Amino acid sequence: MFEDPDIQTLIRTFRDYAGYDFNNYSEKSFLRRIEKVMMDYKLDIRKLIAKVKDDRLFLEQVVRDITVNTTELFRDPQVWHAIKYRILPRLASKREINIWHAGCSTGQEVYSMIILLNEMNMLHRCNIYATDLNTDVIKTAQAGVYSYRSVSEYLDNFNKVLCENPYNFDEHLVVTYEKYFDINKVKDTFKIKREFLNKAIFKKHDLVTDPNPFNVSYDIILCRNVLIYFNNTLQNKLFIDFWNYLDTYGSLVLGIHESIIGPTSVKYDKKGLIYNKKVF
């Protein structure tokens, strides 16, 4: 619970005027973002509250400013190696596989998964679901168009994950960018090829307040670099939600600096970077 009464009023305003509940966000990270918002819009906290109450578009903009959207193609390749060599082989004989990207931002993580599944010849058996609180990032994700400059520095990750095998240094595959992307360096565009768009279903979803968005059991839930913005109470609630939504022995993939601590940790079996659902 935030102590400052003005911050409490601001949080109440987000909840009462638009249904966003930031009460259980990490205090440090929330206050840092609010300070930046006040500086960017040159407003003190009282004026910020008044404007948020008065101007719905401004309120939505501030929500976007608070929820950080940074993402990358094949972010943290070691996590993708764990997905490729530890999780997906276990699912190789399953007829239908459900994967949920919770907090998918602009979709690079989702397209990384689609590309990896395609390379492993598993894509046709997968239902890929992706959600985020922020409708702007979902629109970008659905369009699958990025600035080449913003993506190019992560293309190395593409090679690391798809071409190298950390368990067998002799193995070296060749996968070209052209197979998956239409790249125009002059126009600074980087587009996901049409045949790989529409492979995922995107939907607006608030992890704090909404139930299972697709009403299925998931074989893999990825919720990476989202929980760091939440406090322990909210993190624990989500670890329980995810446990309930995972299929038997399903896997939860968190960000590389995130882990399950506290009472819910007994519900998962940690194998390297992956949390597998324990069944009791």
Ligand X SMILES: C[S@@+](CC[C@H](N)C(=O)[O-])C[C@H]1O[C@@H](n2cnc3c(N)ncnc32)[C@H](O)[C@@H]1O
- The CB-of-257 to ligand X minimum distance in angstroms stands at 11
Nearer to ligand X, 103 or 250 (CB): 103
Three-state DSSP string of the chain: CCCCHHHHHHHHHHHHHHCCCCCCECHHHHHHHHHHHHHHCCCCHHHHHHHHHHCHHHHHHHHHHHCCCCCCCCCCHHHHHHHHHHHHHHHCCCCCEEEEEECCCCCHHHHHHHHHHHHCCCHHHEEEEEEECCHHHHHHHHHCEEEHHHHHCCHHHHHHHHHECCCCCCCECCCCHHHCEEEECCCCEEEECHHHCCCEEEEECCCCCCCCCCCCCEEEEEECCCHHHECHHHHHHHHHHHHHHEEEEEEEEECCCCCCCCHHHHHEEEECCEEEECCC
Burial environment of residue 28 by CB neighbours within 10 A (0 to 12, 13 to 18, 19 or more): exposed
Identify the residue among 24, 98, 105, 118 touching ligand X (CB under 6 A): 105
Contact set for ligand X, span 236-275 (CB under 6 A): 255
Nearer to ligand X, 225 or 264 (CB): 225
- The CB-of-17 to ligand X minimum distance in angstroms stands at 16
Nearer to ligand X, 70 or 248 (CB): 70
Identify the residue among 6, 206, 258, 269 touching ligand X (CB under 6 A): 206
Nearer to ligand X, 70 or 121 (CB): 70
- The CB-of-60 to ligand X minimum distance in angstroms stands at 12
Identify the residue among 10, 59, 162, 207 touching ligand X (CB under 6 A): 207
Q: Which two tokens stand for residue 40?
A: 């960017």
**Distance from chain centroid for Cα 79:** 13
Identify the residue among 33, 99, 132, 245 touching ligand X (CB under 6 A): 132
- The CB-of-179 to ligand X minimum distance in angstroms stands at 22
Identify the residue among 9, 69, 152, 212 touching ligand X (CB under 6 A): 69
Identify the residue among 128, 133, 151, 221 touching ligand X (CB under 6 A): 133
Binding range to ligand X, per CB under 6 A, among 3-11, 47-55, 126-134, 166-174: 126-134
Q: Does 68 bind ligand X (CB under 6 A)?
A: yes
Identify the residue among 226, 246, 252, 253 touching ligand X (CB under 6 A): 226
Identify the residue among 74, 88, 91, 109 touching ligand X (CB under 6 A): 109
| Interface residue list for ligand X (CB under 6 A) | 67-72, 75, 103-105, 109, 132-134, 137, 205-208, 224-226, 229, 255
